[in-house]
Chain A
Amino acid sequence: MFAFLLRRVLQTVPIILAVALLIFVLFSVIPGTFASSLGDDGRNVMDAQVIERVNRQLGLGDPLHVRFGNYVLQLASLDLGTSFRTRQPVTAVLAARMWPTLQLCFAAMVIAIVLGVPLGFVAALKPGSLIDTLSMVGAVSGLSLPKFWLGLLLMYLFALKLGWLPSFGYGDGGLRYIVLPAIALGVAPLALLARTTRAAVLEILNADFVRTARSKGMSERQVVHWHLARNALVIVLTTVGLQFGSVIGQAVIVEKLFAWPGLGSLLVDSVSLRDIPVVQGSILVIVLFFLFVNTLVDVLCALIDPRIKYS
């Protein structure tokens, strides 16, 4: 198991390096700089000397290879640079925003797993039934709903009309504040998990080993518990992992809508303000988290299904 874990971790190293390179190139080879963008609203044209001074102060005047070398050295010492706007270390800025994002993504995935997996399971065990049809219509609708629209509707109904929950913000970090954004974020993974679970269970139901188990005289409960659930779990877990990564990406919209102080809203604000070190750092952290979750899921899958380790 340790060898499998080591191999899986080592596989992510080149991807992390490539992402770091890609992010650096994206924000370095583009025309214009942070300084010139300060006055690029069409009304204010900045003085060339001011642009040069700001560039020198921020180290943007150095040749590209020097900047890349500095960037790699900084990364190696876990230094993501300094925010152009606030002059604070990017790591400190990101650290303050990480926990709210994790809370939100975790809550959204809990909603998706707790509702989506049982729904897919029941739908597959009763194919063609009313619950199967309703859950699959619900699933395709859930996948088509824009999160920000769903969020607005939830906000209107539960916060403004009924007054049950706060409409936006982090508040004291309590459960009441996370409910609406977590539902808005969790509906799409819920729908996908329901569909995936249903497809996985239906496929396993037709497998030879399930037929053999039934012909041996195992009860339906035992078949579901020992054969269906365990085999479907690998597919469901893989989907959960992929969806967790996707949820971190999608959190950007929900965080912005609900004024949730997480990484996503920081990224959007930094993009608007062209605070490039914060944008680079946010993307890198999101990618690292995405890779971490997928590695974790692979390890869990290998624990559940020993065949995976040897493949």
Chain B
Amino acid sequence: MRIGANLVIGGTLFALVVIAGVLAPWLAHTDPVMDANLMNAEEPPGGAFWFGTDAQGRDIYSRVLYGARISLTVGIVSQLINTVIGVCLGLSAGYWGGWWDDFVSGLTNLVLAIPSLIFALALMAILTPGLTSLLIALGLTNWSFTCRLARASALSLKSQGYVQAAKVLGYGDVRIMVTQLLPNMLGPIIVIGTLGMGGAVLAEAALSFLGLGIRPPFPSWGSMLSDARDQITTAPWISIFPGLAIFITVLGLNLLGDGLRDILDPQGRAGKA
């Protein structure tokens, strides 16, 4: 694929999902939770119900639109938490070095040794299922790559002339890190953040699918798929549309991440060829 195509296709897909989520109250035909009507149960896609209805007679199209809000909230907020943690730890470890660097490196290796979904599952075991718990669980389990990247960047940047000049000018450590180092490592961090957002959307859907994330009747794409399992023989469309929504969102974010890497991280582009 040409450089730019990824960015355009990924950006368009992601923008569509964002628009769907933001405009859900205006675009939806019914209330996603309250408008259950057993008389309309398992209606196939058609004129009145574009994506059909589920076992409770709720409009799947409306629920998919509202589901975008949950997926995007979890994807964006949890990835922001991961990025802030990763950058703070990695940047300070690379800049200060010494025992703090050893501690952060050990902590990163520890987190890397636990598969992130398993770590999130463990955290969900001790938290009450819900949106806040999901944000905490997914926000604390995926910062290690950002941390490693920020640490490596800080290690290579701290000996640069402009950093030495800032020291001579009397800048404090925190000011140097924020104003001199951070802007110069932002490109790769944005790339990892965008790709990580796709992973977070998938993880949220997976946890909700397993019954440990967003609980029914609230319309999370993962929990909608979990409900759809029982109707796979009689009403397969209940499974199609929430899954398609997850796929389009994650595909958009992955393509967007690849496209941003092509622009912001030339070394990554060389490696990817």
Contact = CB atoms under 8 A, between A and B. Distances in A.
Interface of A: 14-15, 18-19, 22-23, 26-27, 30, 127, 133, 136-137, 140-141, 143-149, 152-153, 155-156, 160, 195, 198-199, 202-203, 245-246, 248-250, 252-253, 256-257, 267-268, 271-272, 274, 276, 279, 283, 286-287, 290-291
A160 B123 contact: no
A26 B122 contact: yes
B35 to A, nearest CB: 25
A290 B117 CA distance: 13
Interface string B203-243: 00110011110000000001001001100110010010011
Most buried by A among B1, B122, B251: B122
A249 B117 contact: yes
Given A18-B110, A140-B251, A199-B273, A146 B246 contact: yes
Contacts of A274: 125
Nearest to A14: B106
B100 to A, nearest CB: 17
Contact of A257 (B1, B229, B272): B229
Q: Considering the complex of A and B, which 9 residue pairs feature the smallest CB-CB distances, nearest first?
A: A249-B115, A149-B243, A202-B273, A144-B251, A144-B250, A271-B125, A30-B126, A249-B117, A18-B110
A252 B247 contact: no
Contact of A286 (B115, B211, B242): B115
Interface string B192-207: 0000001000100110
**Which label, helix, strand, loop or mixed, suits the secondary structure of the B interface?**
helix
Nearest to A276: B125
A72 B206 CA distance: 33
Contacts of B121: 252, 267-268, 271
A153 to B, nearest CB: 7
Interface string B1-44: 10000000000000000000000000000000000000000000
Nearest to A288: B113
B68 interface: no
A176 to B, nearest CB: 19
A249 B272 contact: no
A248 B236 CA distance: 29
A18 B107 CA distance: 9
B210 A252 contact: yes
B174 to A, nearest CB: 29
Nearest to A31: B126
20 contacts: A26-B122, A133-B1, A137-B1, A140-B255, A143-B250, A144-B247, A146-B243, A146-B246, A148-B206, A149-B242, A152-B232, A156-B233, A249-B118, A250-B117, A256-B210, A257-B229, A267-B121, A268-B121, A287-B115, A291-B113
B47 interface: no
A267 B239 CA distance: 25
Interface in B243-270: 243, 246-247, 250-251, 254-255, 258
A203 B271 contact: yes
A276 B125 CA distance: 9
A310 to B, nearest CB: 22
Given A199-B272, A245-B115, A256-B210, 19 more contacts: A22-B114, A23-B122, A26-B122, A137-B1, A140-B255, A144-B198, A147-B206, A149-B239, A149-B247, A152-B225, A152-B229, A153-B243, A203-B273, A249-B115, A252-B117, A253-B206, A287-B113, A290-B113, A290-B114
B236 A283 contact: no
A279 B243 CA distance: 29
A267 B118 contact: yes
Contact of A283 (B109, B114, B211): B114
Contacts of B243: 146, 149, 152-153
